[in-house]
Structure formats: C-alpha cells, structure tokens
Amino acid sequence: MSRISKEYEIGDESIDALIHELAGRSASKDTEYLLREILTTAVKLGKESTDKGDIKLVNNTLKELRYSFKIFSPYRDIKKVIIFGSARSPKTSAEYKMAEEFARRMTDKGYMIVTGGGPGVMEAGNKGARAGKEFALSIRLPNEQETNPYIDEKDKIINFKYFFTRKLIFVKETDATVLFPGGFGTHDEGFEMLTLIQTGKSRPRPVVMMEPKGAKYWSAWRRFVVKELLGNGFISREDFSFFHIARSVDDAIQYIDNFYRVYHSIRYVSGTTVLRLNRNISDKTLKVINEKFKGILTSGEIKPSPPLKAELRNGEYPELPRLVMKFNFCDYGRLFEMISIINKDQIV
C-alpha cells in the first residue's frame, strides 16, 4: 500500500507515473515511498527554481550524504569515537600525545576513530588508531592542506564541500565525542554537540573534554559556563550531566565504557521512549529510577518491555532487554542522570 500522500505529487500524471516507475525499479519495498518523495522533491525543485546555485547546493549535499552513507554502512555495528581538537597543535604538545594514546587504546578496545582528517590533534587521532580502524572526514577550504598521512585505507577518507553535511555525519555515524583543546572549530563542534543533546536532536552519548596534566583549558571553560550560562539562567544545573572533563586517558576511556556499560541505545516509537539495555537491571534499580525520575514522565511509569512492533519490523536488537516510558521530551539532563544510575546497576 502506498505511503506517499496525494498532496506530495507533482500533479502531472505522466511525470508522477515516471517517478513511481523509477522508484519501484530502484528501491526496496520498505524504502520505495521515500525514494518517490526524494524524486518528487527533485522534480519540484527543477520546476520551481531557476537559481543554479540553489540546485547545485541540493545536488552537492545529496551526493555528499549518499557517499558518506555508503562508506559507513558496513561499519554501523561498530562503536566509533569522533575526536576534535586544534589543527595547530604541534607533535610535541601534550594534547597531541594524549590524542594519539587515546586513539590507540580505544581501537585496541574495538572502537573505531573518526577525525576531521587534518593536522594537529586530528592527525594524532589517525596516527594512534590501529590500521584500518579510522576514518577521516576532510573539509575543502581555500587554504586547504592535504589530509594527514596516517589514514591507512584511502576509501575511509571522505572529502566534504559543506561544513553542515560533514557535521551531520560526525554526529550520525559516531557514538562518543571527545574534545581536546582547540580553537573556534573545536568549540563550534563541542557546543553544537551539547545543543543537539540538550534538545533531543541527538541520541544520548558520552561527551568527553580531555585536558592534559597541568592544563586548565576545559576547567577554565567550565568556570565560564558556570558563571555566565548557568549564572544567568541560560542553562540548567542538570545540563552539566551532558559532558565530562577527563584529565587522563584512563579517565576518558573509563567514562565512555561506563556510559555503555548497561545502556545500549534509545528509540522513540509513537510517543514511547525505549531504552535498550545490554542486560536486565535489578528490581532495586528499577524502583530507584521510578522514584527519582517520575517528574520526567508525562504519565505512567518506567517498566521493562519486550521489543516494540516497530523495532521487530526493522530487526532492531530484538535480543536486548528494554525499558519503556512516556518521556516528556524536555528534561534531557535528567534523562542523562537516569542513564548514569542505570549504568551503576549491580548484578545481584
């Protein structure tokens, strides 16, 4: 049965018929209606816009996203960490050495590393990662430098024209964010990540700000956030649960590991929030989270559940236990606090 609405067609029977035929030949039954919408959008753009720049922007964006999905698709079941930091950090700097060690040890644990592909901290991340365990998402700039030489498999290098498509892939295809000291770009990525988490536009993830021994970079940043953002009421105290300042590689790795100790992933299905877990939690922890986090629910309680029909239809981790709840889609800081308590659950 067609899922595309009559309202979203060209209105020309011959063109609509061609779109339906092309979509039917090019997509699976589950995605055919979406491809019809994409093709319809493309045709509408061609009929409505005479601005070559607009069409080039849409064309380049779609091509960049398609190619990125193709590259990452075989690795979707492997957890990945995105590393941000200054492109100007010299090889002798403490943050360069810290990033290199962090990447090496994370890939030893089975994670993959994603960087921006440039010099400095990005280079350190690719250099430290074990062979074949890293990606580089490079950006084409007027003063463009070549991608750093430490990416072993060249098919894992993706060159972007637009920052916004690159940033989308940074978030979509990774499971943890690690920030080393850096400039405007590092802060841009860091603040955007925190904003996406705060507004629920990104699924929960660990965000780690790494500070070499003796440095005060992120400590000073935190003081600014406390004084100016929290002090003026621009954020809530609970928003501090979105990030963690780590002063050693051990601390950073432990924080990321602990974030996924029991918590696995999140899914929203028709107003129901599903927390997928690596194992069942104790009755004691279930009681605690129901008592402490009743205020983030619109109704009901937090309770165990089998996979929902939408999850089974897509084969989404049917083997994992779940908690379901009517989350208010507002208190994401409190949601993070709840995930932290779940991750501290002890097997009885």
DSSP state string for 113-176: EEE-SSSTHHHHHHHHSPTT-EEEEEE--TTPPPPPTT-S-GGGEEEES-HHHHHHHHHHT-SE
The residue-averaged pLDDT of 95-113 equals 98
Map tokens 């953002």 to a residue.
Answer: 229
Tokens of 323: 């908690």
pLDDT tens profile 202-241: 999 999 999 999 999 999 999 999 999 999 999 999 999 9
The strand pair at 263-269 and 244-246 is best described as: unpaired
Residue finishing a domain among 72, 87, 111: 72
Q: Is residue 5 part of a domain?
A: no
270 with 210, same domain: the answer is no
Asked if the model's pLDDT at residue 4 lies above 90, the reply is no
The strand order across the sheet containing 157-160 reads 157-160, 134-139, 112-115, 80-84, 176-179, 207-210, 244-246
Count Cβ atoms below 10 Å from residue 319 Cβ, excluding itself: 6
169 with 205, same domain: the answer is yes
Q: What is the CATH number of the domain that holds 199?
A: 3.40.50.450
How far apart are the C-alpha atoms of 8 and 16, rounded to whole Å?
Answer: 10
The residue-averaged pLDDT of 296-320 equals 96
Residue finishing a domain among 72, 106, 121: 72
How far, in Å, are 122, 187, 343 from residue 214 at the CA level? Answer: 22, 21, 30
Cβ distance 294 to 337 under 8 Å? no
136 with 28, same domain: the answer is no
132 with 28, same domain: the answer is no
240 with 171, same domain: the answer is yes
Helical axes 332-343 vs 283-292, angle rounded to 10°: 160
Residue finishing a domain among 72, 90, 115: 72
Q: Is residue 4 part of a domain?
A: no
Q: Is residue 348 part of a domain?
A: no
What pLDDT does residue 1 have?
Answer: 38
Q: Is residue 7 part of a domain?
A: no
Map tokens 């972007």 to a residue.
Answer: 160
SS3 325: strand
What pLDDT does residue 103 have?
Answer: 98
108 with 187, same domain: the answer is yes
Q: Is residue 145 part of a domain?
A: yes
Q: Write the burial class of residue 99 (CB in 10 Å: 0-12 exposed, 13-18 middle, 19+ buried).
A: buried
81 with 142, same domain: the answer is yes
Cβ distance 305 to 312 under 8 Å? no
The residue-averaged pLDDT of 285-298 equals 98
Cβ distance 198 to 333 under 8 Å? yes
321 with 240, same domain: the answer is no
240 with 272, same domain: the answer is no
Kindly provide the b/e burial profile for residues 215-243, where b requires at least 16 CB atoms within 10 angstroms of the residue's own CB.
Answer: bebbeebbeebeeeeeeeeebeebbbbbb
Q: What's the pLDDT band for 140 if we cut at 50, 70, 90?
A: confident
123 with 40, same domain: the answer is no
The residue-averaged pLDDT of 35-63 equals 96
Q: Is residue 191 part of a domain?
A: yes
Q: What's the pLDDT band for 6 if we cut at 50, 70, 90?
A: low
What pLDDT does residue 144 have?
Answer: 60
Q: What's the pLDDT band for 141 if we cut at 50, 70, 90?
A: confident
pTM over 0.85: yes
Q: Is residue 104 part of a domain?
A: yes
- Host domain of residue 272: 263-343
119 with 174, same domain: the answer is yes
How far apart are the C-alpha atoms of 154 and 158, rounded to whole Å?
Answer: 9
How far apart are the C-alpha atoms of 131 and 148, rounded to whole Å?
Answer: 14
- Could you tell me the sign of the dihedral formed by the alpha carbons of 188, 194, 195, 200, in that order? positive
Question: How many domains does one find in the chain?
Answer: 3
What average pLDDT is seen over the chain? Answer: 95
- pLDDT exceeding 90 applies to what percent of the chain? 92
The residue-averaged pLDDT of 7-26 equals 94
Q: Is residue 88 part of a domain?
A: yes
What pLDDT does residue 348 have?
Answer: 53
**Cβ within 8 Å of residue 71, ≥6 positions away:** 135, 155, 156, 158
Asked if the model's pLDDT at residue 164 lies above 80, the reply is yes
The closest of 172, 177, 90 to 100, measured between CA atoms, is 90
203 with 325, same domain: the answer is no
